[in-house]
Each structure stands twice: as C-alpha cells, then as structure tokens.
Amino acid sequence: AQSVAQPEDQVNVAEGNPLTVKCTYSVSGNPYLFWYVQYPNRGLQFLLKYITGDNLVKGSYGFEAEFNKSQTSFHLKKPSALVSDSALYFCAVRDPRYQKVTFGIGTKLQVIP
C-alpha cells in the first residue's frame, strides 16, 4: 500500500524568509511524487513532480522540492516566501505499478507580512 504523511497541520513563516513544507511517503518501489497548492474555494493546482533524475525538482511560482530516498521525504521549499503563497499544500504519491495517486491531508501555509 502507498501512503503519504504531512506532519504539520500549519506552517507559519515571515514574508521574505525561506519556507519548507514537509512530506514523507511510503511505497514498495520507486515513487512518483507530486505537490499541489489549493487557494480558498478553488481546485488544486499542480506545482511540481518527481519521477526520476535530479533529486531537486523545480516547479511553478518559484517552488522546488528535494527528493531524499534514504529519508523517504519530498519536502517543498521556496527561498523567499510571499504573502500570496498562503494556501493549502498537498503532497501526493503514486506507486508506478498502480493507477491511483494518494494525497496527504494537506498543510496550511501562512505567510506573515
């Protein structure tokens, strides 16, 4: 079975500071990993994915994520947070043997002016 954990319900960061939103996963084989963002009353928007290759993946809006196989983690990062980054962030994982993608419960990011 595949699963994903987002250990923090909420992350608060000051505007201009670096931000990290944590994600750990569990799959039997090599994982496909994704990050999505959800703004209030909107659907989820795809940010970035890791399938294979470079462990540091760059995505939309200046976000990046680092795949760490030994720690089974895929943390989302941004060097300098903006107030407009405040939203709900979802990590997702897929075991490539199966069709289904499993989403985490989400982490609320609050960027404080």
Partner 1 sequence: NAGVTQTPKFRVLKTGQSMTLLCAQDMNHEYMYWYRQDPGMGLRLIHYSVGEGTTAKGEVPDGYNVSRLKKQNFLLGLESAAPSQTSVYFCASSDSPNYGYTFGSGTRLTVV
Residue 81 CB, nearest approach to partner 1 (Å): 22
CB 68 within 8 A of CB 25: no
45 versus 110: smaller Cβ distance to partner 1: 45
Closer residue to partner 1, CB minimum distance, 7 or 16: 7
The encoded tokens of residue 41 equal: 């009353």
Q: How far is the CB of 39 from partner 1 (least distance, A)?
A: 10
Identify which of 22, 33, 81 has the alpha carbon closest to the alpha carbon of residue 55: 33
Q: Are 87 and 62 in contact (CB under 8 A)?
A: no
Tokens representing 90 are 């979802």
> Minimal distance in Å, beta carbon 30 to partner 1?
12
Sites of contact with partner 1 (CB under 8 A): 32, 34, 36, 41-49, 51, 90, 94, 96, 99-106
